[in-house]
Structures are given as C-alpha cells and as structure tokens.
Amino acid sequence: MKKDYDKMEISELILITGSDGGIGCNLADYLLSNGVRNLACHYHSSSDNIRAVLEKHKLDEQKHLFQAELTDEEDVKKLRLSIEAKLGDVWGLINMAGGSMNGMSWKISKADFQKIIDQNLMTTFLCSREFIPGMRKMISGRIINISSVVAYTGVVGAAHYCAAKAAIGGWTKALALELAPKNITANTLALGYFEYGLINHLSSEQQDGIKARIPYQRFGSANEIGGYIKFLLSGDGLYTTGQIVHVNGGLY
C-alpha cells in the first residue's frame, strides 16, 4: 500500500543549520507544514525571517531558535549543549549553512579561499562531528548535507565554492559507510537554482539567462527540496544512504 507522505509526522528532533537563509527559511516552513513537529533552527547573524516562520507555526523562539558561529568548534559544542538542554538529542541534522563570494581562480586570495572552505565544508564537518555521537547512542539518525549543482558542473568565478561543495560529496559517502551499522544515514542534496536568497540579487536578465539553461525553464521551490528531505527523514528512507541526489531541474 502506498504511503501518504502528506500525513506523516516526524517527532524526532531535527536541526537545520543556516535556517536564516532564503532556502533554509522556506525549508523550515515546509517541514513544519508537512509533518515535522520538533525543529531546532540555527542562525548566524540575522534571525528575522526564521523568527517569522516560527511565529507562523506558533513555536516559541526562545526554545526553537539558536545562534552560533559554525566555523568555531567551541561554538558548535555550545550549540549542541543548548539544543539538548531545551529540546533533547538531535536525531536529524540538515547541514544547510554555507556561503559564497565571486573571484577568478588566479585572483582568489588564500584567506578568501579558506573562508569559503570554512563556511561550507568546515561547518558541515564540525556539525556532523558534534552531533554524530548522540545519534550513535540512539542507534538511529539522519544526516542530510547540502551541496550545489556547480560542484559537478563548475561555474566561472567561484572555483573555491565549487571545490568546497564537491568535497561535501566525498564526506557524505565516507559517513554513510561509517554510520550504517548504527542505522544512521548520510546523503547529499546537490541543489540547482531556487527562487530564494542570492538568486534574487541578480538582474532579471541574469535570471532569465540561468532559466534558459534549465530544461524546466524555471527555478525550484521549497517543496521540491522538502519532499526529498521528508522522505529521507522517514522510516522508508533508511535504505537510502551515501547518495548524492541532484535536485536541479535537469541542469548539467
């Protein structure tokens, strides 16, 4: 019998890092609207957008909203302790936090290269390392890492970002092998272009140029990410691990 995923409830604690970003904020809204009942939302600096989402779903921001600098291992540890004190052990980790900047490969400074590696790969590493022991104790868990289509296609002016996002795929595959004996899955979603966040900083002409390269001729929406994530969080998602799922409208 086919399951009705629209009616599923996921009661285990899920943490979204970078929930203050355009995609993260809309993903949180989607999950809260579609069966996730226990959500911890991390933000780095501004929390206005994610705070509005929590208010919409009548969740107390003092209980569900957490600030941390995810490139700092001590701050990540404090994040875990704060979440555990208020909500309990994290069962599902969605590593959404990241960052980008433009720069041609021969002009990128070492500091800027390291900054992008830290914002994307280091945050994924530190958060995974911090929350895996709790999942191992539960003998169950889910890790979902967020990468990008450009990790597999490349893009002019962001070689450091492409490198960082590509590395997340290797990290995921190793985690899947290490954690399978404890019923913990690890998967990566390699996202294309979505209708939130940085894409809206581009001119309409630039946006039209990107859409012209996408077979579906449009940007993606939150439900088209959230649907995958909800499946991976479900009981039926247990046999899916070590995968890189390309959610990009056919853009390669």
Contact 23, 222 (CB under 8 A): yes
**Residue 134 region by backbone torsions, left for phi larger than 0, else alpha for psi between -120 and 50, else beta:** alpha
Question: Whole-angstrom Cα distance, residue 181 to residue 113?
Answer: 36
Question: Whole-angstrom Cα distance, residue 164 to residue 119?
Answer: 9
Q: Which residues are catalytic?
A: 161
How large is the angle between the packed helices 159-179 and 110-117, nearest 10 degrees?
40
Question: Whole-angstrom Cα distance, residue 150 to residue 191?
Answer: 9
- 6, β-bridge pairs: none
Structure tokens at 47: 């929390």
Grouping H, G, I as helix, E, B as strand and the rest as coil, residue 131 is helix
Question: Whole-angstrom Cα distance, residue 224 to residue 138?
Answer: 29
Question: Whole-angstrom Cα distance, residue 196 to residue 98?
Answer: 14
